[in-house]
A and B are shown apart, each in its own frame.
Chain A
Amino acid sequence: MNTMNPLTILIASIFTHNIALVYILGMCPFIVISKNFKTAVGMGISVIFVVTLTAIINWPIYWKILLPANAEIISYLIFIIVIAATVQLLEMLIEKFFPPLQSSFGIFLPLITVNCIVLAVCLFMVLRKYNFVQTVFYSFGTSAGWALAIIIMAAIKEKLLLVGDIPKGLRGAGITMIIAGLLAFAFMGFAGMITLQ
Protein backbone atom coordinates (compact mmCIF):
# COMPACT_ATOMS: atom_id res chain seq x y z
CA MET A 1 0.00 0.00 0.00
CA ASN A 2 0.99 3.56 -0.68
CA THR A 3 1.88 5.55 2.43
CA MET A 4 1.54 9.13 1.21
CA ASN A 5 -0.28 11.72 3.27
CA PRO A 6 -3.80 12.19 1.80
CA LEU A 7 -3.46 15.98 2.01
CA THR A 8 -0.24 15.88 0.00
CA ILE A 9 -2.05 13.81 -2.61
CA LEU A 10 -4.86 16.37 -2.70
CA ILE A 11 -2.50 19.30 -3.35
CA ALA A 12 -0.42 17.31 -5.83
CA SER A 13 -3.41 16.19 -7.85
CA ILE A 14 -4.75 19.73 -8.15
CA PHE A 15 -1.54 21.59 -8.97
CA THR A 16 1.63 19.63 -9.66
CA HIS A 17 -0.06 16.68 -11.37
CA ASN A 18 -3.04 18.45 -12.91
CA ILE A 19 -4.86 15.83 -14.94
CA ALA A 20 -5.77 18.15 -17.81
CA LEU A 21 -2.51 20.00 -18.24
CA VAL A 22 0.11 17.45 -17.17
CA TYR A 23 -1.46 14.08 -18.00
CA ILE A 24 -3.47 15.56 -20.90
CA LEU A 25 -6.73 13.80 -20.13
CA GLY A 26 -10.33 14.89 -20.52
CA MET A 27 -9.49 16.93 -23.61
CA CYS A 28 -12.69 16.50 -25.64
CA PRO A 29 -14.97 18.44 -23.27
CA PHE A 30 -12.02 20.70 -22.47
CA ILE A 31 -12.02 21.89 -26.08
CA VAL A 32 -15.74 21.81 -26.81
CA ILE A 33 -17.30 23.13 -23.61
CA SER A 34 -14.76 25.82 -22.75
CA LYS A 35 -16.42 28.52 -24.85
CA ASN A 36 -18.52 29.96 -22.08
CA PHE A 37 -17.53 30.65 -18.47
CA LYS A 38 -20.86 29.68 -16.90
CA THR A 39 -21.12 26.38 -18.76
CA ALA A 40 -17.55 25.56 -17.80
CA VAL A 41 -18.36 26.06 -14.12
CA GLY A 42 -21.40 23.76 -14.43
CA MET A 43 -19.39 21.09 -16.19
CA GLY A 44 -16.57 21.38 -13.66
CA ILE A 45 -18.89 20.87 -10.69
CA SER A 46 -20.65 17.90 -12.33
CA VAL A 47 -17.29 16.29 -13.03
CA ILE A 48 -16.11 16.75 -9.43
CA PHE A 49 -19.26 15.06 -8.21
CA VAL A 50 -19.23 12.12 -10.62
CA VAL A 51 -15.49 11.40 -10.40
CA THR A 52 -15.43 11.38 -6.61
CA LEU A 53 -18.54 9.22 -6.42
CA THR A 54 -17.41 6.62 -8.95
CA ALA A 55 -13.95 6.34 -7.41
CA ILE A 56 -15.56 5.72 -4.01
CA ILE A 57 -17.74 2.99 -5.53
CA ASN A 58 -15.00 1.40 -7.63
CA TRP A 59 -12.39 1.18 -4.87
CA PRO A 60 -14.17 -1.53 -2.83
CA ILE A 61 -15.26 -3.31 -6.00
CA TYR A 62 -11.66 -3.67 -7.18
CA TRP A 63 -9.87 -4.42 -3.91
CA LYS A 64 -12.60 -6.39 -2.09
CA ILE A 65 -14.36 -8.25 -4.90
CA LEU A 66 -12.35 -8.43 -8.13
CA LEU A 67 -8.90 -8.98 -6.66
CA PRO A 68 -9.83 -11.77 -4.20
CA ALA A 69 -11.76 -13.44 -7.03
CA ASN A 70 -8.72 -13.18 -9.34
CA ALA A 71 -10.88 -11.37 -11.84
CA GLU A 72 -8.85 -8.18 -12.32
CA ILE A 73 -8.70 -8.97 -16.04
CA ILE A 74 -12.26 -7.68 -16.41
CA SER A 75 -11.67 -4.63 -14.23
CA TYR A 76 -11.94 -2.25 -17.21
CA LEU A 77 -15.30 -3.68 -18.09
CA ILE A 78 -16.59 -3.43 -14.52
CA PHE A 79 -15.26 0.11 -14.05
CA ILE A 80 -16.90 1.38 -17.19
CA ILE A 81 -20.23 -0.26 -16.37
CA VAL A 82 -20.16 1.21 -12.86
CA ILE A 83 -19.40 4.64 -14.30
CA ALA A 84 -22.18 4.46 -16.87
CA ALA A 85 -24.66 3.16 -14.29
CA THR A 86 -23.74 5.83 -11.72
CA VAL A 87 -24.17 8.58 -14.28
CA GLN A 88 -27.52 7.20 -15.39
CA LEU A 89 -28.69 6.93 -11.77
CA LEU A 90 -27.58 10.47 -10.96
CA GLU A 91 -29.41 11.73 -14.00
CA MET A 92 -32.63 10.07 -12.89
CA LEU A 93 -32.23 11.27 -9.29
CA ILE A 94 -31.70 14.85 -10.38
CA GLU A 95 -34.66 14.68 -12.72
CA LYS A 96 -36.88 13.32 -9.96
CA PHE A 97 -35.81 15.21 -6.85
CA PHE A 98 -33.95 18.34 -7.92
CA PRO A 99 -35.65 19.56 -11.12
CA PRO A 100 -34.11 23.07 -10.85
CA LEU A 101 -30.66 21.49 -11.12
CA GLN A 102 -31.67 19.65 -14.27
CA SER A 103 -31.18 22.60 -16.57
CA SER A 104 -27.81 23.57 -15.11
CA PHE A 105 -26.15 20.19 -14.51
CA GLY A 106 -28.39 17.53 -16.04
CA ILE A 107 -27.29 18.30 -19.58
CA PHE A 108 -23.64 17.57 -18.78
CA LEU A 109 -24.14 14.20 -17.19
CA PRO A 110 -24.41 12.02 -20.32
CA LEU A 111 -21.23 13.65 -21.62
CA ILE A 112 -19.32 12.65 -18.52
CA THR A 113 -19.61 8.93 -19.25
CA VAL A 114 -17.12 9.31 -22.07
CA ASN A 115 -14.91 11.75 -20.20
CA CYS A 116 -11.56 10.01 -19.92
CA ILE A 117 -10.80 11.37 -16.47
CA VAL A 118 -13.52 9.33 -14.75
CA LEU A 119 -11.93 6.10 -15.94
CA ALA A 120 -8.42 7.51 -15.59
CA VAL A 121 -8.92 8.19 -11.88
CA CYS A 122 -10.03 4.58 -11.35
CA LEU A 123 -7.02 3.25 -13.28
CA PHE A 124 -4.51 5.48 -11.48
CA MET A 125 -6.00 4.57 -8.12
CA VAL A 126 -5.38 0.89 -8.88
CA LEU A 127 -1.94 1.49 -10.39
CA ARG A 128 -0.69 3.53 -7.43
CA LYS A 129 -2.31 1.22 -4.83
CA TYR A 130 -4.06 4.02 -2.93
CA ASN A 131 -5.99 3.09 0.19
CA PHE A 132 -9.57 4.24 0.61
CA VAL A 133 -8.91 7.62 2.25
CA GLN A 134 -6.18 8.42 -0.27
CA THR A 135 -8.56 7.49 -3.08
CA VAL A 136 -11.19 9.91 -1.82
CA PHE A 137 -8.68 12.76 -1.62
CA TYR A 138 -7.07 11.83 -4.92
CA SER A 139 -10.33 11.64 -6.86
CA PHE A 140 -11.60 14.90 -5.40
CA GLY A 141 -8.30 16.66 -6.05
CA THR A 142 -8.00 15.40 -9.59
CA SER A 143 -11.49 16.42 -10.59
CA ALA A 144 -11.11 19.79 -8.85
CA GLY A 145 -7.88 20.28 -10.80
CA TRP A 146 -9.67 19.51 -14.04
CA ALA A 147 -12.49 21.90 -13.14
CA LEU A 148 -9.92 24.59 -12.35
CA ALA A 149 -8.25 24.10 -15.73
CA ILE A 150 -11.47 24.23 -17.75
CA ILE A 151 -12.71 27.30 -15.85
CA ILE A 152 -9.43 29.16 -16.46
CA MET A 153 -9.56 28.15 -20.12
CA ALA A 154 -13.15 29.34 -20.54
CA ALA A 155 -12.38 32.67 -18.89
CA ILE A 156 -9.37 33.23 -21.16
CA LYS A 157 -11.31 32.29 -24.28
CA GLU A 158 -14.19 34.58 -23.38
CA LYS A 159 -11.82 37.54 -23.02
CA LEU A 160 -9.94 36.54 -26.15
CA LEU A 161 -13.09 36.72 -28.24
CA LEU A 162 -13.52 40.38 -27.26
CA VAL A 163 -10.06 41.57 -28.18
CA GLY A 164 -8.29 38.93 -30.20
CA ASP A 165 -7.82 38.91 -33.94
CA ILE A 166 -7.02 35.24 -34.42
CA PRO A 167 -5.94 33.87 -37.83
CA LYS A 168 -8.83 32.03 -39.46
CA GLY A 169 -7.30 28.55 -39.43
CA LEU A 170 -6.34 28.82 -35.79
CA ARG A 171 -9.81 29.64 -34.49
CA GLY A 172 -11.59 27.11 -32.32
CA ALA A 173 -9.57 24.03 -31.47
CA GLY A 174 -6.25 25.44 -32.69
CA ILE A 175 -6.12 28.41 -30.36
CA THR A 176 -7.42 26.27 -27.49
CA MET A 177 -4.38 24.03 -27.92
CA ILE A 178 -1.98 26.99 -27.88
CA ILE A 179 -3.60 28.45 -24.74
CA ALA A 180 -3.52 25.01 -23.11
CA GLY A 181 0.20 24.83 -23.88
CA LEU A 182 0.82 28.16 -22.16
CA LEU A 183 -1.34 27.10 -19.19
CA ALA A 184 0.61 23.87 -18.97
CA PHE A 185 3.81 25.95 -18.72
CA ALA A 186 2.24 27.90 -15.88
CA PHE A 187 1.27 24.74 -14.03
CA MET A 188 4.80 23.39 -14.51
CA GLY A 189 5.83 26.17 -12.15
CA PHE A 190 4.35 24.08 -9.34
CA ALA A 191 6.34 21.00 -10.33
CA GLY A 192 9.07 19.98 -7.95
CA MET A 193 6.95 20.83 -4.92
CA ILE A 194 5.70 17.26 -4.61
CA THR A 195 6.27 14.12 -6.62
CA LEU A 196 3.54 11.54 -6.82
CA GLN A 197 4.22 7.98 -7.69
Chain B
Amino acid sequence: MPKKAFKKSFKHTKAYKALVAGLWQDHPTFCMVLGICSMLAITNRLDNAIAMGVGVTFCTVFSSLFVSIFRNVIPARVRMLAYMVIIATFVICVDRFLKAYFITISEAMGPYVGLIITNCILMGRAEAFAIKNGPLLSALDGLGCGIGYSFMLILMALIRETLGFGTILGQRIMPGVWTNWVVMTIAPGAFFLLGIYLWIFRTIAKKTD
Protein backbone atom coordinates (compact mmCIF):
# COMPACT_ATOMS: atom_id res chain seq x y z
CA MET B 1 0.00 0.00 0.00
CA PRO B 2 1.44 3.42 -0.86
CA LYS B 3 2.31 5.56 2.10
CA LYS B 4 -0.24 8.27 1.43
CA ALA B 5 -3.12 5.85 1.07
CA PHE B 6 -2.05 4.13 4.27
CA LYS B 7 -2.05 7.42 6.10
CA LYS B 8 -5.50 8.24 4.77
CA SER B 9 -6.97 4.88 5.69
CA PHE B 10 -5.29 4.99 9.10
CA LYS B 11 -7.02 8.28 9.78
CA HIS B 12 -10.39 6.57 9.66
CA THR B 13 -9.57 3.67 11.93
CA LYS B 14 -11.01 3.46 15.42
CA ALA B 15 -7.52 3.36 16.88
CA TYR B 16 -6.61 6.73 15.42
CA LYS B 17 -9.85 8.25 16.65
CA ALA B 18 -9.31 6.86 20.14
CA LEU B 19 -5.80 8.29 20.24
CA VAL B 20 -6.65 11.73 18.90
CA ALA B 21 -9.86 12.30 20.86
CA GLY B 22 -7.87 12.90 24.03
CA LEU B 23 -5.63 15.42 22.29
CA TRP B 24 -8.31 17.82 21.16
CA GLN B 25 -12.10 17.18 21.22
CA ASP B 26 -12.15 15.30 24.49
CA HIS B 27 -9.12 17.02 26.00
CA PRO B 28 -9.26 16.08 29.69
CA THR B 29 -8.56 19.57 31.00
CA PHE B 30 -10.30 21.87 28.58
CA CYS B 31 -13.47 20.00 27.80
CA MET B 32 -14.08 17.94 30.85
CA VAL B 33 -12.17 20.03 33.42
CA LEU B 34 -10.78 16.94 35.10
CA GLY B 35 -7.57 16.31 36.96
CA ILE B 36 -7.08 19.93 37.93
CA CYS B 37 -5.78 19.34 41.43
CA SER B 38 -2.40 17.87 40.70
CA MET B 39 -2.08 20.01 37.61
CA LEU B 40 -2.24 23.29 39.49
CA ALA B 41 -0.28 22.18 42.49
CA ILE B 42 2.88 20.87 40.86
CA THR B 43 3.28 22.98 37.73
CA ASN B 44 5.38 25.71 39.32
CA ARG B 45 8.50 23.95 37.98
CA LEU B 46 8.94 22.32 34.59
CA ASP B 47 10.83 19.24 35.82
CA ASN B 48 8.01 18.39 38.24
CA ALA B 49 5.47 18.88 35.47
CA ILE B 50 7.33 16.52 33.13
CA ALA B 51 7.64 13.87 35.84
CA MET B 52 3.94 14.21 36.63
CA GLY B 53 3.01 14.02 32.94
CA VAL B 54 5.03 10.87 32.37
CA GLY B 55 3.66 9.32 35.55
CA VAL B 56 0.05 10.06 34.68
CA THR B 57 0.49 8.84 31.09
CA PHE B 58 1.99 5.58 32.33
CA CYS B 59 -0.91 5.13 34.73
CA THR B 60 -3.63 5.98 32.19
CA VAL B 61 -2.21 3.58 29.59
CA PHE B 62 -1.80 0.64 31.92
CA SER B 63 -4.90 1.15 34.05
CA SER B 64 -7.05 1.47 30.90
CA LEU B 65 -5.38 -1.63 29.47
CA PHE B 66 -6.00 -3.71 32.57
CA VAL B 67 -9.52 -2.46 33.21
CA SER B 68 -10.28 -3.39 29.63
CA ILE B 69 -8.72 -6.85 29.94
CA PHE B 70 -10.76 -7.56 33.05
CA ARG B 71 -13.91 -5.81 31.83
CA ASN B 72 -15.92 -9.02 31.51
CA VAL B 73 -14.91 -10.24 34.96
CA ILE B 74 -15.48 -7.08 37.00
CA PRO B 75 -18.95 -7.11 38.60
CA ALA B 76 -20.84 -3.89 37.86
CA ARG B 77 -21.61 -3.12 41.51
CA VAL B 78 -18.03 -3.03 42.71
CA ARG B 79 -16.43 -1.72 39.55
CA MET B 80 -15.32 1.54 41.19
CA LEU B 81 -13.37 -0.39 43.78
CA ALA B 82 -11.84 -2.56 41.06
CA TYR B 83 -10.72 0.53 39.13
CA MET B 84 -9.23 1.98 42.29
CA VAL B 85 -7.23 -1.14 43.03
CA ILE B 86 -5.88 -1.34 39.47
CA ILE B 87 -5.00 2.36 39.41
CA ALA B 88 -3.39 2.30 42.85
CA THR B 89 -1.14 -0.58 41.79
CA PHE B 90 0.33 1.43 38.93
CA VAL B 91 0.63 4.57 41.01
CA ILE B 92 2.68 2.62 43.54
CA CYS B 93 4.99 1.62 40.64
CA VAL B 94 5.42 5.28 39.64
CA ASP B 95 6.01 6.33 43.25
CA ARG B 96 8.68 3.66 43.82
CA PHE B 97 10.36 4.47 40.49
CA LEU B 98 10.60 8.18 41.33
CA LYS B 99 11.86 7.44 44.85
CA ALA B 100 14.58 5.17 43.43
CA TYR B 101 15.85 7.25 40.51
CA PHE B 102 14.63 10.86 40.93
CA ILE B 103 14.66 11.46 44.67
CA THR B 104 14.69 15.29 44.42
CA ILE B 105 11.62 15.34 42.19
CA SER B 106 9.91 12.78 44.40
CA GLU B 107 10.52 14.99 47.45
CA ALA B 108 9.39 18.15 45.66
CA MET B 109 6.14 16.50 44.61
CA GLY B 110 5.54 14.95 48.04
CA PRO B 111 2.06 13.50 48.44
CA TYR B 112 1.00 14.60 44.96
CA VAL B 113 2.49 11.42 43.47
CA GLY B 114 0.17 9.31 45.59
CA LEU B 115 -2.70 11.58 44.66
CA ILE B 116 -2.48 10.44 41.03
CA ILE B 117 -4.80 7.67 42.30
CA THR B 118 -7.62 10.14 42.76
CA ASN B 119 -6.86 12.01 39.54
CA CYS B 120 -10.29 11.98 37.94
CA ILE B 121 -8.81 11.39 34.48
CA LEU B 122 -7.85 7.82 35.33
CA MET B 123 -11.22 6.96 36.77
CA GLY B 124 -12.96 8.89 34.02
CA ARG B 125 -11.24 6.99 31.20
CA ALA B 126 -11.83 3.65 32.91
CA GLU B 127 -15.54 4.34 33.31
CA ALA B 128 -16.15 6.12 30.02
CA PHE B 129 -13.99 4.10 27.66
CA ALA B 130 -12.03 1.10 28.96
CA ILE B 131 -14.99 -0.76 30.43
CA LYS B 132 -16.70 -0.84 27.02
CA ASN B 133 -13.80 -1.28 24.57
CA GLY B 134 -11.05 -3.74 23.74
CA PRO B 135 -7.60 -3.64 25.39
CA LEU B 136 -5.65 -2.13 22.50
CA LEU B 137 -8.14 0.66 21.85
CA SER B 138 -8.34 1.43 25.56
CA ALA B 139 -4.58 1.65 25.88
CA LEU B 140 -4.47 4.03 22.91
CA ASP B 141 -7.26 6.13 24.42
CA GLY B 142 -5.31 6.25 27.68
CA LEU B 143 -2.19 7.29 25.78
CA GLY B 144 -4.06 10.09 23.99
CA CYS B 145 -5.49 11.43 27.24
CA GLY B 146 -2.17 11.12 29.02
CA ILE B 147 -0.35 13.03 26.29
CA GLY B 148 -3.05 15.69 26.15
CA TYR B 149 -2.79 16.11 29.90
CA SER B 150 1.03 16.20 29.90
CA PHE B 151 0.97 18.82 27.15
CA MET B 152 -1.24 21.00 29.34
CA LEU B 153 1.02 20.47 32.37
CA ILE B 154 4.05 21.55 30.36
CA LEU B 155 2.23 24.58 28.96
CA MET B 156 1.33 25.69 32.49
CA ALA B 157 4.77 24.98 33.92
CA LEU B 158 6.61 26.83 31.13
CA ILE B 159 4.80 30.08 31.89
CA ARG B 160 4.78 29.67 35.66
CA GLU B 161 8.47 28.83 35.94
CA THR B 162 9.53 31.55 33.50
CA LEU B 163 7.57 34.29 35.26
CA GLY B 164 7.82 32.96 38.79
CA PHE B 165 11.47 31.98 39.03
CA GLY B 166 12.92 33.48 35.82
CA THR B 167 14.23 30.04 34.89
CA ILE B 168 13.39 27.04 32.71
CA LEU B 169 14.46 23.64 34.05
CA GLY B 170 16.67 25.55 36.51
CA GLN B 171 18.51 27.50 33.78
CA ARG B 172 18.13 31.27 34.15
CA ILE B 173 16.63 32.75 30.98
CA MET B 174 15.22 36.08 32.08
CA PRO B 175 17.57 39.11 32.13
CA GLY B 176 19.14 40.14 35.43
CA VAL B 177 16.77 43.04 36.02
CA TRP B 178 13.74 40.72 35.92
CA THR B 179 11.82 40.67 39.21
CA ASN B 180 10.27 37.28 39.91
CA TRP B 181 6.49 37.22 40.07
CA VAL B 182 6.12 35.31 43.30
CA VAL B 183 2.39 35.04 42.71
CA MET B 184 2.96 32.68 39.77
CA THR B 185 4.71 30.15 42.00
CA ILE B 186 1.80 29.83 44.45
CA ALA B 187 -1.87 28.92 44.26
CA PRO B 188 -3.49 32.19 43.03
CA GLY B 189 -1.21 32.40 39.98
CA ALA B 190 -2.08 28.82 39.07
CA PHE B 191 -5.81 29.55 39.29
CA PHE B 192 -5.55 32.69 37.17
CA LEU B 193 -3.39 31.05 34.51
CA LEU B 194 -5.72 28.08 34.13
CA GLY B 195 -8.71 30.42 34.02
CA ILE B 196 -7.08 32.36 31.19
CA TYR B 197 -6.15 29.18 29.30
CA LEU B 198 -9.72 27.90 29.60
CA TRP B 199 -11.02 31.22 28.33
CA ILE B 200 -8.72 31.18 25.29
CA PHE B 201 -9.44 27.54 24.47
CA ARG B 202 -13.19 27.79 24.82
CA THR B 203 -13.32 30.94 22.72
CA ILE B 204 -11.38 29.23 19.93
CA ALA B 205 -13.31 25.96 20.15
CA LYS B 206 -16.63 27.80 20.62
CA LYS B 207 -17.45 25.54 23.54
CA THR B 208 -19.44 27.07 26.36
CA ASP B 209 -21.15 25.86 29.49
Residues of B within 8 A of A118 (CB): 118
Q: Does A7 contact B (CB under 8 A)?
A: no
- Asked if residues A174 and B41 are in contact (CB atoms below 8 Å), the reply is no
B195 touches A170 (CB 8 A): yes
Chain B nearest CB, measured from A115 CB (Å): 7
Give chain A residues whose Cβ lies under 8 Å from the Cβ of B41. Answer: 23-25
Interchain CB contact (< 8 A) of B37 among A25, A171, A185, A188: A25
Chain A residue nearest in CB terms to B204: A169
Partner of A115, one of B85, B96, B118: B118
Q: Is the interface of A mostly helix, strand, loop or mixed?
A: helix
Report if B36 contacts A (CB, 8 A).
Answer: yes
Q: Contact at A188–B188, with CB atoms within 8 Å? A: yes
Q: Given A24-B187, A76-B114, A171-B209, are A177 and B88 also a contact pair (CB < 8 Å)? A: no
B-facing residues in A173-196 (Cβ within 8 Å): 173-178, 180-182, 184-185, 188
What is the CA–CA distance of A74 and B187 in the complex, to the nearest angstrom? 31
Q: Give the contacting residue for A28; candidates B34, B80, B208; CB below 8 A.
A: B34
Are B187 and A21 neighbours in the complex by a CB distance under 8 Å? yes
Q: How large is the interface on A (under 10, 10 to 19, 20 to 34, 35 or more residues)?
A: 35 or more
CA gap between A177 and B96 in the complex, in Å: 33
CA distance A180 to B40 in the complex (A): 12
Across the interface, do B187 and A81 meet the contact criterion of CB distance under 8 Å?
no
Partner of A167, one of B114, B189, B194, B199: B199
Name B95-127 residues within 8 Å CB distance of A.
95-96, 110-111, 114-115, 117-120, 123
Minimum Cβ distance to chain B for residue A54 (Å): 13
- 26 A-B pairs within 8 Å (CB atoms) are namely A23-B187, A24-B41, A24-B191, A26-B37, A27-B36, A32-B33, A73-B96, A76-B92, A76-B95, A77-B85, A77-B88, A80-B85, A81-B81, A88-B81, A113-B80, A113-B84, A167-B199, A169-B199, A169-B201, A170-B198, A177-B194, A177-B195, A178-B191, A181-B191, A185-B188, A188-B186
Q: Which residues of A line the B interface, CB within 8 A?
A: 21-28, 31-32, 73-74, 76-77, 80-81, 84-85, 88, 110, 113-116, 118-120, 123-124, 127, 167-178, 180-182, 184-185, 188
